[in-house]
Chains A and B, each alone.
Chain A
């Protein structure tokens, strides 16, 4: 039962990864007893499961995911939201108003207008239906301040870091609040725009160098240096 790769090897779609008693994991598929890659990425296996960490992918909705989206259209009883996925999401008016929605009393555009950004959770999604969003939990709803940056959705776990080490470090160093949408959209809210820019710069750096080791330490250092530089220029 051989495998045909070294750990962390770069593979292209269609490359034969393993043969025999293996299970196809992420971004791979099985044909008979052979396992092939289905996306460009780095291979790895934990025991019998062969995974490819994709270098390029798009966001696929999953129930319970927190996402950041843009209102694109106001409908009869809700909004259409772009969540940077193959499907557009729906947000129902009754969910936002937390009471029955009456078209004669409520003007939807006064609650959320086209172009507004929202933080939401995916309430339901399956093959046959577009994802439905909910904002009925604390911390969700319309975004009123802060800055947005986008990364490839596959790199969100790297921004979080091991047990959240990376993200909590950035929060601490910059004093910003950071909300990660699993669809690759990140909201940074700080006391002033400079802090926000610092955090965004760190996130950009993570995206560029997402596959290097010891990244958390280097980002810490980068932030410290950058902060010192800014202190200096203020004087």
Chain B
């Protein structure tokens, strides 16, 4: 399982899990899964299973962290000990602290931060099962949870990664492709505003490959965005149907 496969893409151009080069993993999204949170969402992207919960806006605790002119967004990305092959220590690792920051910074541009000064929003992302690309799936779910909490926002944020395995640029890397591949480019995107809120690159790409990967990731984002909207609407669908009567 942990050995590097010889070839990540076969002669016919199919990947290890049978996907095409520009194909996403199957995505399933549900909104409003937690009753105690102000907003919540659950996403399954391939073998990834991630839960996001949002609390607030509420008074900041501890109080000295609140800002007089704006709302504070706090994020906690955490992987459950059973989310990976080898048990992971539940204590936040260096990687989790970094991802918390990355997720926070990719969500913040979508919020009207100056609307509710001195308050805070807490976003909790819990990875129940991980299979590569969790930061992207987390951003997608967290953004939905914020919308579900009724917090005004500019647009939903969607994220998707592209990368290079063997010699080809492919969409939505899974764990083995990520580890055995050459490069990984996660992109978070606000489709209606056509704005990128997160862009990272891990590995080596030529400028052409990089551009290709970013465009491919943005195309992937747009596909997930449709599912995201659909999921949000599903929760409130009964309302819509009643109106149409």
Interface residues of chain A, those whose CB is within 8 Å of chain B, are 8, 10, 12-16, 27, 29, 31, 36, 38-40, 42, 54-58, 60, 86-88, 127-128, 209-213
Q: In the complex, how many angstroms separate the beta carbon of B84 from the nearest chain A beta carbon?
A: 33
Known A13-B156, A56-B150; 11 more pairs at CB < 8 Å: A12-B147, A14-B153, A36-B155, A42-B243, A55-B236, A58-B38, A58-B149, A86-B116, A87-B118, A127-B117, A128-B68
* B150/A12 in contact, CB under 8 A: no
Contact A14/B232 with A8-B243, A87-B59 known, Cβ cut-off 8 Å = no
> How far apart sit A128 and B66, CA to CA, in the bound complex (Å)?
12
Binds A, one of B12-20, B189-197, B214-222: B189-197
Q: Residue-by-residue, is B136-160 near A (CB-CB < 8 Å gives 1, otherwise 0)?
A: 0000000000011111111110000
Contact between chains at A212 and B117 (CB < 8 Å): no
B1 proximal to A (CB < 8 A): no
In the complex, what residue of chain A is closest to B237 when comparing beta carbons? A10
Chain A residues with CB under 8 A of B236: 10, 40, 55-56
A-B contact pairs, 21 of them (CB 8 A): A10-B236, A10-B237, A10-B239, A12-B232, A14-B153, A14-B192, A16-B192, A31-B154, A38-B152, A40-B233, A40-B236, A56-B150, A58-B57, A58-B151, A60-B116, A86-B58, A86-B116, A210-B239, A211-B242, A212-B242, A213-B245
Give the nearest-CB partner of A38 in chain B: B152
A29: chain B residues at CB < 8 Å are 112, 152, 154
Interface of A is mostly: loop
Q: Hey, what's the 0/1 contact readout for B195-222 against A, CB within 8 Å counting as 1?
A: 0000000000000000000000000000
Cross-interface CB contact of B154 among A8, A38, A86, A212, cutoff 8 Å: A38
Residues of A within 8 A of B38 (CB): 58
CA distance A58 to B59 in the complex (A): 14
Q: Is A86's CB under 8 angstroms from B56's CB? A: yes
Task: State whether B119 touches A87 (Cβ < 8 A).
Answer: yes
**Chain A residues positioned under 8 Å from B190 (CB to CB):** 14
Name the A residues within 8 Å of B233 (CB-CB). 10, 12, 40
Give 8 nearest A-B pairs by CB, closest first: A14-B155, A56-B150, A38-B152, A86-B57, A57-B150, A14-B192, A86-B119, A10-B240
Per the bound structure, the CA–CA distance linking A212 and B245 in Å amounts to: 8
* Chain A CB within 8 A of B229 CB: yes
A54 to B147, CA, bound (A): 11
Chain B: minimal CB distance from A161 (Å):
17
Contacts of B192 in A (CB 8 A): 14-16, 36
Contact, CB under 8 Å: A39 / B150: yes
Q: Is the CB of A13 within 8 A of B153?
A: yes
In contact, B150 and A54 (Cβ under 8 angstroms): yes
B242 touches A36 (CB 8 A): no
Which residues from B are CB-within-8-Å of A10?
Answer: 233, 236-237, 239-240
Please indicate which of the listed interface residues A10, A31, A60, A210 has the most CB atoms of chain B within 10 Å of its own CB: A10
List chain A residues, Cβ under 8 A from B56. Answer: 86
Given A55-B236, A86-B119, do A13 and B148 touch, yes or no (CB 8 Å)?
no
Bound CA–CA A212/B154 (angstroms): 28
What's the minimum C-beta distance from A232 to chain B, rounded to whole angstroms?
A: 31
- Which residues of the other chain, A, contact B118 by a CB distance below 8 angstroms? 87
Cα A58 to Cα B156 with chains together (Å): 19
Q: In the bound complex, how far is the Cα of B68 from the Cα of A128, in angstroms?
A: 7
Measured between C-beta atoms, what is the minimum distance from B1 to chain A in Å? 40
CA A212 to CA B240, docked complex, whole Å: 9
